Amino acid sequence: MSAKSTELQIRAVTGAGIVALIVGAIAGGPWTYGVLLLVVGLLGIRELFAAWRLMPPFPRSSVMGLGFQLLLVLAFGSLWSISWTSSGYDVWIPLGWFALMWSNDTGAYLFGRSFGRHLLAPSVSPGKTWEGWAGGALTALLVGGLLQYHLGAAGHGHWLVLATLVSVFGPLGDLLESLLKRKAGLKDSGHILPGHGGILDRFDSHIIAAPIALFYLIFA
Task: Tell me the DSSP string of 82-132.
Answer: TTEETTEE-THHHHHHHHHHHHHHHHHHHHHHHH--SEEETTTEEEEEHHH
Look over the chain and give the mean of its residue pLDDT values, rounded to a whole number.
Answer: 89
Q: What's the full length of the chain, in residues?
A: 220
For 14-96, strand residue ranges (E) read: 84-85, 88-89
* AA identity, residue 146: L
pLDDT digits 0-9 by tens, 15-41: 899 999 999 999 999 999 999 999 999
Query: Residue 120's closest CA among 71, 178, 39?
Result: 178
Dihedral of alpha carbons 32, 192, 12, 131, sign: positive
Looking at per-residue pLDDT, the higher value among 22 and 117 belongs to: 22
pLDDT value of position 86: 84
* 91 has pLDDT over 80: yes
- Work out the percent of the chain whose per-residue pLDDT is above 70: 93
Dihedral of alpha carbons 113, 115, 116, 117, sign: positive
Contacts 24+ apart (CB under 8 A), 48-51: 48/72, 48/180, 48/189, 48/200, 50/190, 51/180, 51/181, 51/184, 51/186, 51/189
Question: SS3 for 155-210, per residue?
Answer: CCCCHHHHHHHHHHHHHHHHHHHHHHHHHHCCCCCCCCECCCECHHHHHCCHHHHH
Cα angle: 164, vertex 74, 34; to 5 degrees: 95
Dihedral of alpha carbons 20, 51, 206, 216, sign: positive
pLDDT digits 0-9 by tens, 203-216: 999 999 999 999 99
pLDDT value of position 111: 92
Rounded Cα–Cα distance for residues 90 and 30 (Å): 9
Helix (H, G, I), strand (E, B) or coil at 23: helix
pLDDT digits 0-9 by tens, 48-90: 888 888 877 655 666 677 788 889 999 999 999 999 988 899 9
Q: For residues 199 and 146, is the Cβ–Cβ distance under 8 A?
A: no
106 burial type by CB count under 10 A (0-12 exposed, 13-18 middle, 19+ buried): middle
